[in-house]
Amino acid sequence: MKNLQERFNSGEIIEFEKPTVVLASASPRRSRLLTEHGVEHVVIVSTVDDTDINFEHPHEGVSKKQEIEYSKQMALAKLAPFVNKIKNGAVICADTSVFCAGKILEKLLTVEKCRAQHQFLSGKKNINYTAYAVYYNGVVLCRVMATKVKIKPLSAELIEQICKEPEILDCAGYRHQGLIAPYF
């Protein structure tokens, strides 16, 4: 028998027997946050590869307004495959991006980018924008929250340690916040 993810990926409409929260993310951190706040949920990962969307947008010389719109667009893109495909369930998608000195920081993808990005952020103020997109019963809502952050200077040793963290190369802002939070 196919699991929920396989059923969803094959295009099946998923109907839950009782109201269910669906986290549309493979992020262990987001799942853990829901669990810690007493929200029972199932995970069905969005079929959208946000890497392409990420690289289609300008990342330099952008305004805060453009950054907010970028975050919304990313979260809504991840949510799109769930619209009219989930019955009796509320789907939550999120996207976190980092905005610093007129730049939207790209997904890391390589150790070299990870190192360069953390060297760039060292000692600077930035804003982490997290867009939450929710789908329930034909309605889509999207909100963006901003977290202002001042990062203390990061040593070369710490940057190397960050670059070796599991999952660091396929993440954006949420992982960034978790890893260097002690240095805010």
Give the other-Cβ count within 10 Å of 19's Cβ. Answer: 10
pLDDT at residue 167, as a whole number: 64
Q: What share of the chain is helix, strand, coil (3-state, %, to 5)?
A: 40, 30, 30
Query: Which entry of 49, 50, 52, 95 is annotated as an active-site residue?
Result: 95
Range of the domain at 19: 4-183
pLDDT at residue 169, as a whole number: 61
- Annotated catalytic residue 95: yes
How remote is the C-alpha of 98 from its chain's centroid?
10
pLDDT digits (tens, 9 = 90+) for 85-111: 999 999 999 988 888 988 888 777 788
pLDDT digits (tens, 9 = 90+) for 20-78: 999 998 888 889 989 999 999 999 999 998 777 777 778 888 888 988 999 999 999 99
Q: What is the pTM of this model?
A: 0.82
Query: Total domain count for the chain?
Result: 1
45 Cβ contact list (under 8 Å, min separation 6): 5, 24, 25, 26
pLDDT at residue 12, as a whole number: 95
What CATH number does the domain containing 30 carry? 3.90.950.10
Q: Which residues of 1-10 are buried (b: 16+ CB within 10 A; e: fewer)?
A: eeebeeebee
